[in-house]
Amino acid sequence: MTTNRHGSRRFFGDIPSRLFAAGLLLLLAGCGKKAEAPPAPGLVKVRLQTDWFPQPEHGGYYQAVAKGYYAAEGLDVEILPGGPNVQVMAAVAMGRTEFGMTNGDDAIVAVARGVPIRMIGAEMQRDPQGLIYHTAHPLHSLRDLEGRTLMAGAGSTWLQVVQKKLGVKFNQLPLVGDMARFMNDQTFVQQCFVTNEPYFARQRGASVGALLIASDSYEPYRVMLTSPPFLAAHPDVVAGFVRASIRGWVDYLTGDPAPANRLIAALRPDLTPEFMAYSIKAMNDYRLVSGDPAKGEFTGQLTAARLEKQIKLLQEIGVLDKPVAVSDVATFAFIPPQPPSP
Amino acid sequence: MKKMPTVWLWLLPVVCGLLFVALWYGVRRWSGLQSWILPTPGEIVAAAWQERARLLAAAGDTAVGALGGFLLAATLGFGTALGLGASRTLRASLWPWLLVLQMTPVIVLTPIIVLWAGPGLPGIVTITWLISFFPIVANMTQGLLSTDMNHVALFRMANASRLQELWLLRVPAAMPFYLAGLRIAATLAPIGAIFGEYMVGNSSGGTGGLGFLVYSYNTQIKIPALFATALTSCLLGFIFVAAVAWLNWAVLHKWHDSFERDDH
């Protein structure tokens, strides 16, 4: 039985109130927003929200920071690291960041849901999402998924394209972070970034290949975004941001990537130089950023025709809430007119 | 109950642990699983040592998130329970909604948490708070309502005000319940923080915590290191539980029957 034999002062007298106070202070300090770095004199301060933890797939932006390309456009760009559930598009739409980057078809779907965002340029001509497979059971095209077991992001647009447009049937498991199932099952297929997982699987001795999901029937961009109000108010800032970002990407992939890699490595001590080199090589091998010059593609390019095709495809498989026009989705005013010299 | 010799109290868990480790090695040996599916305890300890700098820094980050959420839950839980314990109307109005809050899967709330609290530490603290809040409120409220009726009668005979009854009688009497709630919350807080890092974390301002390492080690197929994050998180949990056990002792040992005293 609980009995109260002493005055209540005793009960609280024994609680180390200083411990509570110290903890509360720590809590308040921890919750407080970090003091924002003051912008460099004469530069316009803007933020770029990325979609994931810093990695070479963001290398062009870090290169533009490191080599002063943004500063040359009068911009002080702060790159906000992403992570799971970061919600780049909502952050752009709510004005928590001036710029964002994400998958192109996600952006189209969001615009159809009424999220006020606008594409201002392509980061990559093709999204790096791919399928990793064991070479003993290879995939040559998405049609080869027939009857296979696949671990993939639930609700991914490309899955619906494969199912509804190509009529391919497969078993699907929700994508979780690990690769244990894949490593242990030669017939298993898993969604990946072609720039990422294959490296680690090979490092563990598996003989694997990766099929880029982007194909003739489905080829989403990766895009840079801003909000229509910001675009209307600061077209020159947007123009400078797109120009410097493209310059950063071209330099990162064709020049010396060390300046960006140093910035990334400082934020991601778990990424080795070998891995970053692999990632960069994969971006070049798959021509993710530069696109296919034979098709007239170049770094940063967005074309109305390709976006039109994507919108039509998304509409056919029924993922758009309402019809959208290309002009609702993207502006082409900031796309450089011809390929930047290699 | 007859007292167990102290040596057994130490020996029994050690023996159980050794048996478990032996079983683990046995399973690994007979199943033929590779190290990147089921690492042995030895491999995990080796990986923990190899990654010690990163694990320690990450554990520090996670501890900040866990402590923040825990303290928020401890203070808000105390306050909420006071309100619920003091007013039948409030209890009737809010109790079902507290249950709803507890039963809502946190995964559902993560998008809102990211938008309102922001990614990174604020979101992680919010998730930890959400996970550890309910056991504290439930226990403390139960404690306030479980006060010995003889003592309540005594207070009422002495014309004590309701506030006096609450603060001088019910709150002290509820302390064992509150501390039991804190103890449950202490085991939940580090897990909540890691889950938070896994759901809404970003790596800004530090290592990103143990939840981030879970991502990192998983994609890099460093499975012994992945298990080492679990080991680290257990150690963190033990520190939390030990702190609450100490608080429990500090508050209760002079008067509560759960402690042995000389005046029995």
The answer, yes or no, to whether residue B261 has pLDDT greater than 70, is: no
Q: Topology of B54-252 in CATH?
A: MetI-like fold (1.10.3720)
The answer, yes or no, to whether residue A203 has pLDDT greater than 80, is: yes
Q: Which residues pair with A172 in a beta bridge?
A: A150
Q: Which of residues 83-102 of A touch B (CB under 8 A)?
A: 83-87, 90, 94
CA A189 distance to own-chain centroid: 22
Q: Are A151 and A190 in contact (CB under 8 A)?
A: yes
Give domain status of residue A202, yes or no: yes
What is the tens place of the pLDDT at every residue in B121-152? 899 999 999 999 999 999 999 999 999 999 99
Q: Are B164 and B80 in contact (CB under 8 A)?
A: no
Contact A85 B199 (CB under 8 A): yes
The answer, yes or no, to whether residue A85 has pLDDT greater than 90, is: no
The alpha-carbon gap from B232 to the nearest alpha carbon of chain A, in Å, equals: 17
The alpha-carbon gap from A336 to the nearest alpha carbon of chain B, in Å, equals: 32
Give domain status of residue A28, yes or no: no
Q: Are residues A241 and A291 in the same domain?
A: yes
Q: How confident is the model at residue B120 (pLDDT cuts 50, 70, 90)?
A: confident
**How many domains in chain A?**
2
Q: Nearest Cα to B49, choosing from B247, B228, B221?
A: B228
Cα separation, B131 vs B196, whole angstroms = 10
Q: Domain boundary residue among A193, A212, A231?
A: A212
Contact B172 A53 (CB under 8 A): no
Q: Are residues A171 and A226 in the same domain?
A: no
Give domain status of residue A81, yes or no: yes
* Residue A173 or residue A50, greater confidence: A50
How confident is the model at residue A58, as a pLDDT?
97
Q: Nearest Cα to A185, choosing from A225, A140, A151?
A: A151
- Give the sign of the dihedral formed by CA B176, CA B177, CA B178, CA B180: positive
Q: Which amino acid is at A52?
A: W
Sheet of A222-226, strands arranged across: A75-80, A44-49, A99-103, A222-226, A118-124
Q: Are residues A230 and A184 in the same domain?
A: no
For the residues of B93-112, what is the DSSP string, one character each?
A: HHHHHHHHHHHS-HHHHHHH
Q: Which of residues 198-227 of A touch B (CB under 8 A)?
A: 200-201, 203-204
* Residue A206 or residue B117, greater confidence: A206
- Cα maximum dimension of chain B: 74
By C-alpha distance, the chain B residue nearest A80 is: B204
- Domain at A95, CATH number: 3.40.190.10
The stretch B139-167 carries a mean pLDDT of 91
Q: How confident is the model at residue A17 (pLDDT cuts 50, 70, 90)?
A: very low
* Residue A30 or residue A314, greater confidence: A314
The answer, yes or no, to whether residue A4 has pLDDT greater than 80, is: no
* Residue B197 or residue B37, greater confidence: B197
Shortest CB distance from A177 goes to which of B64, B215, B251?
A: B215
Q: Are residues A51 and A138 in the same domain?
A: no
Q: Are residues A65 and A116 in the same domain?
A: yes
Residue numbers in A near B175 (CB within 8 A): 11
Q: Are residues A138 and A123 in the same domain?
A: no
Give domain status of residue A5, yes or no: no
- Give the sign of the dihedral formed by CA B122, CA B124, CA B125, CA B127: positive
Cα separation, A30 vs A19, whole angstroms = 16
B166 C-beta neighbours (distance < 10 Å), count:
18
Q: Which domain holds residue A70?
A: 47-127+219-329
Cβ of residue A24 closer than 8 Å to a chain B Cβ: yes
Angle between helices A235-254 and A273-285 (to 10 degrees): 100
Q: Which whole-number Å values give the CA distances from A31 to A26, A46, B116, B124, in the listed order? A: 9, 23, 13, 10
Least confident of A150-159, A225-234, A236-245: A150-159
Residue numbers in A near B120 (CB within 8 A): 83
The answer, yes or no, to whether residue A31 has pLDDT greater than 60, is: no
The answer, yes or no, to whether residue A14 has pLDDT greater than 80, is: no
Q: Fill in the DSSP letter of residue A49.
A: E
Cα separation, A179 vs A175, whole angstroms = 10
Average pLDDT, chain B: 89
Task: Specify the 3-state DSSP secondary structure of A47.
Answer: strand
Q: Which of residues 147-176 of A touch B (CB under 8 A)?
A: none
The alpha-carbon gap from B147 to the nearest alpha carbon of chain A, in Å, equals: 8
Q: Nearest Cα to A23, choosing from B227, B42, B63, B37?
A: B63
Q: Nearest Cα to B256, choosing from A4, A7, A12?
A: A4
How confident is the model at residue B89, as a pLDDT?
93
A127 C-beta neighbours (distance < 10 Å), count:
25
Q: Alpha helices of A67-170 — where are they, by DSSP H?
A: 69-72, 88-93, 104-112, 157-160
Pick the residue of B34, B56, B71 with the most A CBs within 10 A to test the interface with A by mutation: B71
For the residues of B136-202, what is the DSSP string, one character each?
A: HHHHHHHHHHTS-HHHHHHHHHTT--HHHIIIIIIHHHHHHHHHHHHHHHHHHHHHHHHHHHHHH--
How confident is the model at residue B1, as a pLDDT?
57
Q: Are residues A178 and A273 in the same domain?
A: no
The answer, yes or no, to whether residue B96 has pLDDT greater than 80, is: yes
Give domain status of residue A312, yes or no: yes
Q: How confident is the model at residue A7 (pLDDT cuts 50, 70, 90)?
A: very low
The answer, yes or no, to whether residue B248 has pLDDT greater than 80, is: yes
How confident is the model at residue B262, as a pLDDT?
57
pTM for the predicted model, two decimal places = 0.81
Contact A197 B219 (CB under 8 A): yes
Contact A34 B199 (CB under 8 A): no
What is the tens place of the pLDDT at every residue in B7-42? 888 899 999 999 999 999 999 999 888 787 789 999
Cβ of residue A23 closer than 8 Å to a chain B Cβ: yes
Q: Are residues A201 and A304 in the same domain?
A: no
A154: its two tokens: 């639930």
Q: Are residues A134 and A73 in the same domain?
A: no
Q: Domain boundary residue among A186, A212, A238?
A: A212
Contact A2 B110 (CB under 8 A): no
